[in-house]
Structure 1
Amino acid sequence: MNGKDNIGYSNDENDIPLKRRQNDDNFSTLTIGPDSRNEENSNDNNEDNDEPSALMKFYEKNKKIIKFILIVLTHIIVGSYFAYATYFFVDSENKHRTWEIYPDPNNTNITDGRCHGSCGFQFCDGYGMLLIVTCIVYICLIYYYIIKPVTEKPIGRLYDNTIKKILIKRVTKTLTVAKIFGIILAILVIIGIAIYLFIETKDDPKRLVSLAGPFVFISLGYIFSADRQAIKWRPVLVGITGQFILGVICIRWDVGRKIFQCLGDKVVTFLNYSRPGSIFVYGAKLVEWNTFYFALLSVIFFFSFFISILYYLGAMQFVVQKIGWMISSLLGTTACESLNAGANIFLGMSESPLLIRPYLNLLTHSEIHAVMASGFATVSGTVLAAYVSYGASAALLITSSVMAAPAALGMAKLYYPENEKTKTGSNQIQMEKSGDSSILDAASNGASNAIPIVLGIAANIIAFIAFIAFLNGIINWLGYLVGLDNIDFEWVMSKVFMPISWIIGIEWSECEKVGRVIAAKTVVNEFVAYEKLGALIKANKISPRAAGITTFAICGFANPSSLGIMMGALGTMAPGRKKHITKVAMRSFIVGCFVCFTSASFAGLMMSDEFLAEQQR
C-alpha cells in the first residue's frame, strides 16, 4: 500500500478496499472490505426505508376527505366560540344592568384599558370587534369560494360579449368621446365640490383662503415636473379629489372619523407588542424613555418577522395584488406603489416598503419616487402616542395620514411622471413563493433581515442630524459676526415658511409662529415641531384654528433625518437601486412636504369652530 494514500488495497484477487477508521483514542486503524460492503448494504436498506410509510399513504389516498373534515371542525370550533361569546356578552349586559339599580361605588367598568361590565356594543372593542371581524372573514370566504366560482364565468362571458364588444370598442375608436366623457365627469366633480364649499363656508368666507394652497402646489408641480409631456392627469386629479373626499369623511362625518381612529388604535396596539422583546434585550429604562434606537427602531424587527411569515403563507402576495389592483384601478398607478401608499396610513416609511420588498428591484424611477413621497407625506402609528403627549389631537393625526395616501400618489405622478414601462402592474406581479423551508425559518430570516435595515437607519439619522447642527453652527457664527446672535438655519427657514403658512389658511398675525413650527419639522424633525406646537397651545399663543391646521401641516416624515432613514432603508432592501434612490430623494422629500400642506389647506376649509372646540375637549 502506498503510504500517502488513505485507502489501501490488499494483494488478493478480489482487491478489496481498505478504509481508515478513527477510534475513540484518536488512533487510526484500517478496515477491510467487508465493512464497506456492509455499509453499502445498510445504505440500500436506508433507501428502502425512505419509502412512504403507511400513515403517509393513507393521507395521500384520503387527502380531500381529511381536508374537508379539518375545515368542518374548524368552522364548528369558530361557530361554537362565537355562539358562547354572544351568550356571554348578552348575559353580562343583563346582569350589570340589574346591578346598576344598586350601584357599587367600588365597581368600575374600566380596569385594564378594556371595557368590563355593562358597556354596550362597541365596534372597536370586545364583542363588537369580534362580530365585525367574523362577518368580514365569512363574507370574504363566501365570496371567494362560493359566489365567485359560480358567477365568474357567466359575468366574464357577459362582459366579453356585450360591454367589451359594444361599448368599450366603440368608445375607444373615438378618443374624442372618451376625452369628452372625462371632461364632463371632471366638471361635475368640480361643481359638486364648489357647492359643498359654498354651503360649508357661507358663514365664514375667510376659510376659502385655504384654496390658494392646493392651487399653488399643483401649479409648482406642473412648472417643475421632471417630464411635463408625460404627465397623466388622471392620478393627479383623482388623488387630490380623493384627499378632499377623505377629509370630508374623516373631519365632517363622525362615523368615518371613528372608523379610522379604531384602525389606527389597532395598528398601534399590534406594533406595541414589540416592547416586551425590546425590554428583555435592552432593559426597561431605555425602552420606557422612548429612546429612538431601542424603543422605536425595535418595531422593525417585529414587523419584518411578521411580514416574512405572511410571505411564507402566501397571504402578503394576495394582499399586494388585491389592494394594489383596487387603488390602481382608481388612480391608474401600479400595484406596488399603491399598496405602499395605503400601508403608509398606519405604518412607517421604513416598515411599509417591507410589504413590497421582493419587487423593489423592479420599480421604475417614478415608482421609487412615489414610494418615497408616500413615506414622507405620512407618519406611522408607532409615533402617534408621542405626538399626542405633546398636545396634538389623535383624531387629526389619523385623519391627516388617511388624507395623504391618495394625494401622495397624485402629487408624485405630477412632479415625476411615469415615462418607463412598468414591471409591477397588478397583472404583471408574479405571486412569488417564499424561499424559506418552514414557517420557523421564515420567522427567523425575517427578524435577521431587519438587522441591516435598522443599522442603516441609525447611521443615516446620526449623520443627517449632525449635518443640520453643523449648518446651524455656521449660520449662527455668521450672524454673530454682524451682531445677530439668535440667527440659525431654523430661523432662516421659518421666514421662508411664512408665506406657505398664509396660503394654507393661517392668519398673517400667526404666520411667523406657525412658520417656526413648520421650519422645525422640515429642518429637524416632527418630534421637535409637535413639542413647539404643544408649547404654543398651552400658552394660548395661537388660535385653535391655527393649531388644527398646523397639526396637519407637520404630520409627515419629511425632514432631513427621515430622508436619511428612507435612503438607508430602501438602499439596504434594494442595494442595486441606491443610485436611483438618491436621484429622486430630494424631489420626493419636497412632494411629501407639499402633500402635508395640501392636507392642511383642505382641513382649514372643513374645520368649523364647533369641530375645533370638540377637539380641544
Structure 2
Amino acid sequence: MNANEKNGFQVDNSHSRQSTIDLSGEKKRNDETTKSDLQLLPQTVINESNDGENKEKKRHGISVFIINFNSNVRQYKEKHDTKIKFLTTFLVHLILLGYFCWATQYFLKQDISLSSTTCNGYGFLMIAYIIIYFTVIYYLILKPFVLPLLFKPLAGTYKRVSSIRFIGPIIHGIILIGCIVFIAIDSRGSFERLIPLAGLLFLLLFGFAISSNHRKINWDIVIAGLDLQFLIGMLAIRWETGRNVLVCVGDKATAFLSFANNGSSFVYGDFLIMEQGVFAFQALSTILFVGMVVSILFHLGYLQMFIVTVGEFLQFFMGTTICESVNSASNIILGQTESPLLLKHYLHQLTDSEIHSIMTSGFATVSGSVFAGYISFGARATDLITASVMSAPAALCFSKLVYPETEKTSATKEAVSLSKSGYTSVLDAACKGASQGMELILGIISNVIALIAFVSFASAVLEWCGTLVGFTEEGETWTIYRITGYIFTPLSYIMGVPWDECYSVGRLIGLKTILNEFVAFQNMQSMVLTERTKVIATYAICGFSNPGSIGITVSGLSTLVPTKREVITRLVFRAFVGGAIVCLMTACIAAMVLPYDVII
C-alpha cells in the first residue's frame, strides 16, 4: 500500500500518465505548428525581423565604440595634458611668428614710413607683437626667475628703509610737490589752470573732516594715491606721445565696440540701429558683446593676469592690501558687482576698512561694458579710459582718508589667489557672458525709466510749489535739475570750469548724483559747451556713484558675504559719497594737466 492508499485516497495514476502523455504530445504539436506557421509566413517578414535584430546589434556596437573612443581620448588627454598644451601653444606661436614675418616682408616692399603706421598698419602690428611677447617672457622667465634674483639683494635694504618712520610720506610727498611745481611752470600765462588745485584741496579737506578716525589715517597711502593720479594724468594727457597713444587706443576701442551694431542690426533692423540709433537697442546691445568677450578672457585667464599685475603694482606703490588693490585694478574693466567675485572666497576675512575700499572703488569707476552707451552720447573713449585708470588709485587714496584701517589684515598676499573660471569651455563662457549682459541691460533700462519718471514727478511737485509763491515764469520755475545746478555751480568753478559754463556742468553733476551717469551724458550731448569743459565734465560724471548703484552694491555684496551685511549697510552711504568725490578729484587733476591749447 502506498502513501495515498494509507490516507484513504486512491489516485488514478493512469490519468496522470495520460496527462503527461497528452501534454508532451501537445508540446510536440505546438512546436510542429510553430514551424509550419513560420514556413507559411512571407519570406520578407522573416528577413525584416532578422534585419531589425542585426541593426539593434549594430547600433549597440557603434555606441560602445563611441563611448570607448571618448573615454580613451579623455584618458589620453589627462595623461598627456602638459604635452598637449605645450604643442598647442607652440603651434599657435609658430603661426603668429610666421604671419609676422610675412607681414614684415610685405611692408619692406612698400614705400611707407614706419611712423605713419603706428596706429593703423604694420607699426601697430609690431607694437601688438612686442606687448604680447614681452608679456609671455615676463610671466615665463622674468617674473619667476630673473626678478627674484635681481631684487633679492635689494629686499633687505628696501625693508630697512621702508621701516623708517615717515620715509614713505616724505618720498611720495617729494613726488607730489614735483608734479605740482611742473604744472605751475607749465601753466605760465594761463594760471587759471591752477584753480582746480584749490578744488582738490577742498575735496581732501572735506574727506578729512568726515574721517572716522583722524589719528589712524595712513598719509603714505593718501599721498601715494595723489602721486599716481598726477603721474597718470601727465603721461596720458599732458605728454604728447601719451595723448597719441590714448587717441589710438580710444579709436580702437570705439571701432571694437561698433562691431556690436552688426549683431544688433540683424536682430532689430537697420532702422532702429543705424538710422535712429535708439539707445536701448543700439548702445545697450553692445553690453552683450562686451560681456561675452570679458567672460572669454576671464575663462582663458588673461583677465586675471592683467588684474593681478596692476593690483600688485598698486600694493607695492601705495601700501594697500592685496584684496583692495586687486579689486581697485579690476574696477578699471569690470563693474562694482563683478569685481568682488574675483575675491569671493576671501571677502569674509576682510576688515571694515577693506570692505569700504571695495565699495568706494565700485562707486568711483565704471565698467568697460557701458563705454558704448557713453560714446553714443558724444563722450570720447580716450577720456573714459583715462578717467577709469586715474580713478583706481584715487579711490584707494580717498577711501583710506575717510575710513582708515584700524584692524589687522588677515587676507595677505601669500594667502590669496584669484577665483578661477567656472565655465566648462570657451563656448560656455561666451554664452553665459552674453546672458549676464542681458541682466545688466534690463537693470539699466529699469533704473533709467524709474528714476527719470520719479525725478520728473518730483520736479513737477516743486514747480507747482513754486507757482504758489510767485515763481511762474518758465526760466524761474523750481525743478530738481535747476536746484542741483545751483548747488554744484561753485564746485564746478573750483574744478576749473569757466564761470559762464559752471551752471551747466553743475547740473550734469547733479543729474549724475541723483539719477545716473547715462542721463548726465545724454544731457551733456545737447548742451553747448567748449571742448575743454566737455573733457572736465566727462571726468566728473564718469562713475557709478548714483542711488541705483547703492542698491546694487548692497544686494550684490550681501549675497556674496552675508556675514558682513551689517558692515555693508553701515558703510555704503559713506562709500557712495567717497566715490562721487573721487570722480571730482579726477576731474580737478585732469583740468590742471590739460593745457588750454590742447584737446586730446
Mark yes or no: TM-score above 0.5: yes
State the TM-score, normalized to the length of structure 2: 0.75
Which of 137, 145, 148 in structure 2 is aligned with 1:142?
A: 137
Which of 255, 258, 261 in structure 1 is aligned with 2:244?
A: 258
Between 1:456-465 and 1:398-407, the stretch displaced more is 456-465
- Unaligned residue ranges in structure 1 (runs of 5+): 1-41, 98-117
2:52 aligned partner: none
Which of 460, 483, 502 in structure 2 is aligned with 1:492?
A: 483
CA 387–318 in structure 1, closer or farther in 2 if over 3 Å, else same: closer
SS of equivalent to 2:183? helix
Q: 1-side partners of 2:244 and 2:590: how far apart?
A: 17
CA deviations on 1:141-161 (whole Å, 9 max, x unpaired) are 3333344555366457x44xx
Which of 575, 580, 583 in structure 2 is aligned with 1:593?
A: 580
The aligned runs of 1:325-404 (5 Å cut-off) are 325-345=312-332, 349=336, 364-381=351-368, 387=374, 395-404=382-391
SS of equivalent to 1:129? helix
Between 1:194-203 and 1:386-395, the stretch displaced more is 386-395
SS of equivalent to 2:308? helix
Which of 398, 406, 409 in structure 2 is aligned with 1:411?
A: 398
The aligned runs of 1:45-124 (5 Å cut-off) are 69-91=87-109, 93-94=110-111, 121-124=116-119
2:167 aligned partner: 181
CA deviations on 1:260-298 (whole Å, 9 max, x unpaired) are 333334444444444444444555555555555444444
* Pair 1:555-2:573 in alignment: no
* Pair 1:520-2:511 in alignment: yes
The aligned runs of 1:439-458 (5 Å cut-off) are 439-450=426-437, 452-458=439-445
SS of equivalent to 1:145? helix
CA deviations on 1:65-89 (whole Å, 9 max, x unpaired) are 6665555443332221111111223
Instruction: Check whether the contact 2:172–2:220 (CA below 8 A) recurs between aligned residues.
Output: no
CA 84–169 in structure 1, closer or farther in 2 if over 3 Å, else same: closer
1:215 aligned partner: 201
Between 1:61-70 and 1:424-433, the stretch displaced more is 61-70
- 1:231 offset after TM fit, Å? 2.4
CA 205–471 in structure 1, closer or farther in 2 if over 3 Å, else same: same
Q: 1-side partners of 2:341 and 2:283: how far apart?
A: 16
SS of equivalent to 1:427? coil
2:305 aligned partner: 318
The aligned runs of 1:170-249 (5 Å cut-off) are 170=160, 178-249=164-235
2:8 aligned partner: none
Instruction: Check whether the contact 2:287–2:369 (CA below 8 A) recurs between aligned residues.
Output: no
SS of equivalent to 1:610? coil
Q: In structure 2, give the amino acid aligned to 1:255.
A: T
Instruction: Check whether the contact 1:452–1:572 (CA below 8 A) recurs between aligned residues.
Output: no
- 1:411 offset after TM fit, Å? 1.2
SS of equivalent to 2:488? helix
Q: What is the percent sequence identity of the aligned residues? A: 40
State the TM-score, normalized to the length of structure 1: 0.73
- Unaligned residue ranges in structure 2 (runs of 5+): 1-59
2:122 aligned partner: 127
Q: 1-side partners of 2:523 and 2:441: how far apart?
A: 28
CA 446–219 in structure 1, closer or farther in 2 if over 3 Å, else same: same
Q: 2-side partners of 1:497 and 1:403: how far apart?
A: 22
Between 1:596-605 and 1:144-153, the stretch displaced more is 144-153
- 1:481 offset after TM fit, Å? 1.8
What is the root-mean-square deviation in Å for CA atoms of aligned residues? 4.1
Instruction: Check whether the contact 1:517–1:533 (CA below 8 A) recurs between aligned residues.
Output: yes
CA deviations on 1:512-540 (whole Å, 9 max, x unpaired) are 34333332333334444445445443xxx
- 1:215 offset after TM fit, Å? 0.9
Instruction: Check whether the contact 2:364–2:582 (CA below 8 A) recurs between aligned residues.
Output: yes
Q: In structure 1, give the amino acid aligned to 2:168.
A: G
CA 347–444 in structure 1, closer or farther in 2 if over 3 Å, else same: closer
- 1:452 offset after TM fit, Å? 4.8
Q: 2-side partners of 1:512 and 1:503: how far apart?
A: 12
Aligned length: 536
SS of equivalent to 2:117? coil
Instruction: Check whether the contact 2:287–2:370 (CA below 8 A) recurs between aligned residues.
Output: no
Q: 2-side partners of 1:171 and 1:442: how far apart?
A: 46
Instruction: Check whether the contact 1:376–1:593 (CA below 8 A) recurs between aligned residues.
Output: yes
SS of equivalent to 1:376? helix
Instruction: Check whether the contact 1:549–1:603 (CA below 8 A) recurs between aligned residues.
Output: yes
CA deviations on 1:192-227 (whole Å, 9 max, x unpaired) are 234313312332334322211111111111111233
The aligned runs of 1:430-579 (5 Å cut-off) are 430-450=417-437, 452-485=439-472, 486-537=477-528, 546-564=533-551
CA 488–270 in structure 1, closer or farther in 2 if over 3 Å, else same: same
CA 328–275 in structure 1, closer or farther in 2 if over 3 Å, else same: farther
- Whichever of the two has the greater Rg, that structure is 2
- 1:334 offset after TM fit, Å? 3.5
- 1:342 offset after TM fit, Å? 3.4
Q: 2-side partners of 1:337 and 1:473: how far apart?
A: 43
Q: Which has the higher contact order (CA 8 A, sep 6+)?
A: 2
Q: 2-side partners of 1:297 and 1:351: how far apart?
A: 18
CA 379–120 in structure 1, closer or farther in 2 if over 3 Å, else same: same
- 1:445 offset after TM fit, Å? 4.0
Q: 2-side partners of 1:267 and 1:605: how far apart?
A: 26
Instruction: Check whether the contact 1:304–1:446 (CA below 8 A) recurs between aligned residues.
Output: yes
Q: 1-side partners of 2:169 and 2:187: how far apart?
A: 27
CA 301–410 in structure 1, closer or farther in 2 if over 3 Å, else same: same
SS of equivalent to 1:333? coil
CA 571–464 in structure 1, closer or farther in 2 if over 3 Å, else same: farther
Instruction: Check whether the contact 2:540–2:586 (CA below 8 A) recurs between aligned residues.
Output: yes
Q: 2-side partners of 1:322 and 1:399: how far apart?
A: 18
Q: 2-side partners of 1:266 and 1:605: how far apart?
A: 27
CA 444–604 in structure 1, closer or farther in 2 if over 3 Å, else same: closer
Instruction: Check whether the contact 1:123–1:129 (CA below 8 A) recurs between aligned residues.
Output: yes
Q: 2-side partners of 1:340 and 1:298: how far apart?
A: 26
Q: In structure 1, give the amino acid aligned to 2:199.
A: G
SS of equivalent to 2:597? helix
